Amino acid sequence: MQTPAHAGRLITPAMVGVALVLLTVPLWIAKVGLYQYIGVEILIWAIYALGFNLLLGTAGLPSFGHGAFFGIGAYAFGLTQFHVAANLWVCLLGGILAASLAGALVAGFVARRRGIYFAFLTIAFGQVFWFIAMKARNVTGGEDGLLPIARLPADFGIVSFDLTGNTALYFFVLALFLVTVVALWRLTYSPFGRVLSAIRQSELRAAHLGYQVVLFKMLAFIASAAFAGLAGSLFAMAQGGAFPEVMALHYSGYIVMMVLVGGGLVSFWGPVIGVVVFLLARDLLGAVTLTWMLWFGLLFVAVILFKPEGIAGVFQDLRRRFSRQPAQAQPAARSTP
């Protein structure tokens, strides 16, 4: 991943732009033929994808079992709500904590592995958690899911916001999305993120420079599991329940597809683009044909074969082409006088 402009800032112009656009979404989303809930869903999956890209795009570790942490976040949110306290903040913390702990457990096993072996082991762990979610019926509700999970009010002491409506939930998720963006931006371009980038390029070289590669890989894994847990918690609240489906191999693969199609390998914003394209394709293509995955799968195959940098990579190429023309014009302008 190239270092973008403003990498050292806390808040960049791009973030402000994205935030302003997203703030206006509830005003026009119904008018373009969509519905409020898709906005909530896109933001939740964007949190998940951004956290996942810390692992895939920055550290170069292909996890094929990340759905497990998303699912664990969802179940933990529900179980905290039922058995500990029906408070939004406690439940969100429960979801993030449970996913981080599961992430730490898995990281302990996989952090010494690379490449395909890393992918294989994460598949195995993902399947273990999925299997447990399916079979531990008295805890998780099995295939029927954990129901009913309430949309708790966001209580700030003085004011309390009711999140039962999709628009209110949208603004709440948007706030958390922006926090995630800032946190991951700082993490990706911090010294910590630089080391992860170095590990992606050459694990051996990073180790020889004296970095504790295994520790960095573990921390990246846990951090990305924590964001998956946050997204999973929000998803449980949005859906009103937690279901094992999102933990299955397919969904763990979908998140990889989203991040790669969007261009997570070359751009911080790639995962967000990928999520928007994936979910809109699901709804718009899904309305026309039952086999929308066939078309999205073909798009994915084409991206892998011809443009592994994804949609963000295409944008970068275009920008480079347009910015080169003024750059070529400059010396000519200098030579004329």
Partner 1 sequence: MFTLIPFLINGLTLGLLFALIALGFMLIVGVMEQINLAHGSLFALGAYVAYALLGPPLPLPVGVGEWWAGLPLGLRYVLALVIAPCIVGLLGILIEQGMRRTYGKDPLFGLLLTFGAAMVIEDVIRSVWGTRDYILPTPDAISGGFIALNLIWSTYRFFAAFAAAVFILLTWLLIERTRFGAVIKAGAHDSEMVRALGYDLAKLRIAVFAIGTMLAAAAGVIMAPIWGIRPHMGVDAVIPAFLIIVLGGVGSFWGAVIAGLMVGMVIGLTAAYASEWSLLSMYILLIVVVTFRSRGLFGKKSILEA
Contact flag: residue 113 with partner 1 (CB under 8 A):
yes
Residue keyed to tokens 């990579």: 313
Q: Least distance to partner 1 from the beta carbon of 316, Å? A: 19
Binds partner 1 by CB under 8 A, chosen from 4, 62, 153, 240: 62
How far from each other are the two terminal CA atoms of the chain, in whole angstroms? 40
Residue number with CB closer to partner 1 (115 or 148): 115
For the chain, strand residue ranges (E) read 154-155, 160-161
Residue number with CB closer to partner 1 (298 or 314): 298
Binds partner 1 by CB under 8 A, chosen from 231, 300, 312, 313: 300
Beta carbons within 8 Å of 14's beta carbon, 6+ residues apart? 6, 269
Of 155, 170, 171, 146, which is closest to residue 77 (Cα–Cα)? 146
The 305-334 contact track toward partner 1, x by CB under 8 A, reads x--x--------------------------
Segment near partner 1 (CB under 8 A), from 19-27, 67-75, 144-152, 300-308? 300-308
Beta carbons within 8 Å of 164's beta carbon, 6+ residues apart? 151
d(CA 23, CA 19): 6
d(CA 97, CA 94): 5
Segment near partner 1 (CB under 8 A), from 114-122, 174-182, 222-230, 237-245? 114-122
The 223-252 contact track toward partner 1, x by CB under 8 A, reads -------------------------xxx--
Contacting partner 1 within 124-183 (CB under 8 A): 124-125, 127-128, 131-132, 135
**Total residues binding partner 1 (CB under 8 A):** 39
Q: Least distance to partner 1 from the beta carbon of 229, Å? A: 21
Residue number with CB closer to partner 1 (89 or 117): 117
Contact criterion met (CB below 8 Å) for 71 and 202: no
Binds partner 1 by CB under 8 A, chosen from 30, 147, 284, 304: 304
d(CA 111, CA 161): 41
Contact criterion met (CB below 8 Å) for 189 and 17: no
Task: Copy the structure tokens of residue 228.
Answer: 């998956």
Of 275, 269, 240, 242, which is closest to residue 257 (Cα–Cα)? 275
Contact flag: residue 286 with partner 1 (CB under 8 A):
no
With b for 16 or more beta-carbon neighbours within 10 A and e for fewer, the 6-45 pattern comes to eeeeeebeebeebeeebeebbeebeeeebebebbbbbbbb
DSSP state of 149: P
Contact flag: residue 257 with partner 1 (CB under 8 A):
yes
Binds partner 1 by CB under 8 A, chosen from 30, 86, 298, 329: 298
Contacting partner 1 within 91-110 (CB under 8 A): 109
Segment near partner 1 (CB under 8 A), from 95-103, 122-130, 206-214, 239-247? 122-130
d(CA 261, CA 311): 6
Q: Least distance to partner 1 from the beta carbon of 64, Å? A: 8
Residue number with CB closer to partner 1 (28 or 306): 306
Segment near partner 1 (CB under 8 A), from 85-93, 118-126, 143-151, 226-234? 118-126
Contact flag: residue 69 with partner 1 (CB under 8 A):
no
Contact criterion met (CB below 8 Å) for 231 and 255: no
Contact criterion met (CB below 8 Å) for 67 and 246: yes
Q: What is the contact surface with partner 1 in residues (CB under 8 A)?
A: 62, 109, 112-117, 119-121, 123-125, 127-128, 131-132, 135, 248-250, 253, 256-257, 260, 290-294, 296-298, 300-301, 304-305, 308
